[in-house]
Amino acid sequence: MKLYYSPGACSLSPHITLHESGLKFEHVLAPTKNHKLQDGTDYYTINPLGYVPLLELDDGTRLREGPAIVQYIADQVPDKALAPANGTIERAQLQAWLNFISTELHQRFSPLFSPETPADYKPMVTTKLLSRLKWVDGELAGKQYLMGDHFSVADPYLFTVTNWAAYVRVDISGFANIAAFRARMAARPAVQAAMKEEGLLK
């Protein structure tokens, strides 16, 4: 398998998940700024949408969208219990978390990165984002991870998007449960391995 990624982008979530899975894979740098691979290939010829992540299977099948990719990875290694079984309420709850992070957190961070976003709009986005993070902080009370005491593929996604707060100057230091969650995640060997491969850790 090949994972196309850009350092620190949402592709960090499946990158971590792949390390958690123990599956063999190749990580391929696909910078979102110039969309050129290191061998000069135009990334748009691989993913016409131009963004990451993209997972390419050994038979050439390509899968886009992080929440779909991490669930696919989890289902390849059911013994690792990275996701509840399909058809269970727990799997639906996992999907609810992945959808929430995608729509309520990930998408609210996006305008804060863009220089084209009007300056007077950013405070409104930040306020709404912080209200959602406050809710997540409450949901993490008394839990090790989003689904309880057991790690799931939703956790790397939350870890990844909350990493962005420092880059866009959104102060999340007041959310004690999120801070504790982030510390637990940062200590996981799979997280450290993925971040080192992306140049985010020395």
The Cα–Cα gap between 120 and 118 comes to: 6
89-188 belongs to which CATH class? mainly alpha
Return the bridge partners of 62, or none. 56
Q: Where are the alpha helices (DSSP H) in 3-139?
A: 12-21, 66-76, 89-100, 107-113, 122-139
Return the CATH fold of 2-81+190-197.
Answer: Glutaredoxin (3.40.30)
Does the structure show a pLDDT above 90 at 195?
A: yes
Does the structure show a pLDDT above 90 at 202?
A: no
Q: Dihedral, CA atoms, 91, 81, 200, 47, nearest 10 degrees?
A: -60
The Cα–Cα gap between 148 and 92 comes to: 15
Looking at the chain, the domain(s) classified CATH 3.40.30.10 span: 2-81+190-197
pLDDT digits (tens, 9 = 90+) for 161-172: 999 999 999 999
